[in-house]
Amino acid sequence: MSFGSPLLLRSLNPLAVAAGADIPDAVTIDGTTLSRSDLLGAATSVAERVARADRVAVLAAPTVTTVLAVVGCLIAGVTVVPVPPDSGEAELAHILADSGAQAWLGEAPDGTGLPVVPVRVHARSWHTYSEPDPSSAAFILYTSGTTGLPKGVILTRRAIAAGLDALADAWSWTASDVLVHGLPLFHVHGLILGVLGPLRVGSPLIHTGKPTPRAYAQAKGTLYFGVPTVWSRVVEDPESARHLSKARLLVSGSAPLPVPVFEKLRELTGQSPVERYGMSETMITLSTRADGERRPGWVGTPVAGVRTRLRDETGAPVPHDGESIGGLQVSGPMLFDGYLNRPEVTAESWTEDGWFRTGDVAVIDAEGFHRIVGRESVDLIKSGGYRIGAGEVETVLLGHPAVAEAAVVGLPDDDLGQRVVAFVVLRGMSGSAADDIESEIIDHVAQQLSVHKRPREVRVLTALPRNAMGKVQKKVLASGN
């Protein structure tokens, strides 16, 4: 039976709920399970409380309150500003001032100067709202701020719907699935894909709080989301990993999945993980498919509606030969509407003919498969006249049994321009043994890749510097700080 026109939250169509087509376990989070009618009734009550606002801040902890706050705003057409729960004072002050948030919805940090609108989990309302304009802003998501203060990324309702529908197509995602993840709810991966995705498709969501291997195994889902750290921990717990063999799809994103982890997942679960690529500004634009080839280290082909191209520093096309590296540019219906209050930065991010400059460098082969090399600013190394992708070298480094973590940067060199330097964390090795392994690691790369791509130097660390999102801070490594 069909119930009216599609909504952004298509499975929460009030006509379907009124007709009794309920989903008893629509969302399970923070120890609480909400049916579809519970979710619609409670979120509509939230909508009534904020309907006159333009923008509200939500302290995006993985709780029922966060889900109801977000869904209530989407029903009412109010823009949500998700705020990381562990934001420092300076970051928090910037996000609130830059976004123009008028209030906190739900929980609020101590000492806030904004009014706080409570979210009542057990309240219910059956008021109906007109579907907001598809071009209106659903979210302002703040980037991780690796190059200065975080920028507010404006995502419209239309863009989110297009992005989610493209993923449903690529992953054969249907209402018969049960999505499981334990990711944060303040970015694209955990919030847009991980909460709005199931609410659009109609598949139940189980949020595990923390993404532990045991919690994933016990959830008994069909579709799992994780970042590489999650999957690394899963393969270190073979018993839990084997429980995931009953799942339909394991999806990895937000950072490159190390090839050894990919292969170990395949060995323990009997299936190869799906890898995909995206940004806050673009959502997901590339993915391997549920019904297609999955190659370790490659993020697949453009999803529905997306086009990609590679350009060199002069703007000239880069061949799709599987080897040549170029700046990745994309176009598609799921791209953002610009950076809030940053018209100059927004303009610089787009080419004159309408393509978004991702700032990432990539390789595309003749079949259209993409491999992301890394960020153009830190991962494209120009050494001795060669263009070397740091990501390719890192993948090979992680294939060495002694290397637990690796990051590759280009450091200034009077002769080469830049020399390839590898920073590694070793597995249970120290002292002279660690010193002896460095030349072995260099030889390992030289045997796997062209000799000019080998590290000229290997530096052993106890840990790699990472930001709040878990991404390696290569600028810290390059600066020596």
How many whole angstroms separate alpha carbon 50 and alpha carbon 32? 24
Residues 342-400 have pLDDT tens digits of: 999 999 999 999 999 999 999 999 999 999 988 887 788 888 877 788 888 888 898 89
How many whole angstroms separate alpha carbon 44 and alpha carbon 50? 10
How many whole angstroms separate alpha carbon 231 and alpha carbon 251? 9
Half-sphere exposure of 255 (CA within 13 A, CB side): 19
Residue 352: strand, helix, or coil: coil
**Could you tell me the pLDDT band of residue 435, with boundaries at 50, 70 and 90?**
low
Q: Which two tokens stand for residue 215?
A: 């919690």
8 A C-beta contact, residue 286 and residue 278: yes
- The domain 384-479 having CATH identifier 3.40.630.10: the answer here is no
- Give the start-to-end residue ranges of the domains of the chain: 10-209, 384-479
**Could you tell me the pLDDT band of residue 145, with boundaries at 50, 70 and 90?**
low
Angle between helices 390-397 and 431-448 (to 10 degrees): 120
Report the chain's terminal Cα–Cα distance, integer Å: 61
Going across the sheet that includes 116-117, the strands are: 116-117, 104-105, 55-59, 79-83, 137-142, 152-156
Q: State how beta strands 79-83 and 380-383 pair.
A: unpaired
Query: Which residues make beta-bridge pairs with 374?
Result: 361
The residue ranking higher by pLDDT, 294 or 259, is: 294
The residue ranking higher by pLDDT, 9 or 137, is: 137
Tokens 């297009």, residue?
162
Residues 63-114 have pLDDT tens digits of: 999 999 999 999 999 999 999 998 888 889 999 999 999 999 999 998 889 9
Superfamily of domain 10-209: ANL, N-terminal domain (3.40.50.12780)
Mean pLDDT of 253-266: 90
* pLDDT value at residue 298: 95
Question: Which pTM value belongs to this model?
Answer: 0.86
Q: Strands, DSSP E only, in 143-216?
A: 152-156, 179-181, 205-207
- Return phi, psi of residue 211, to 5°: -85, 60
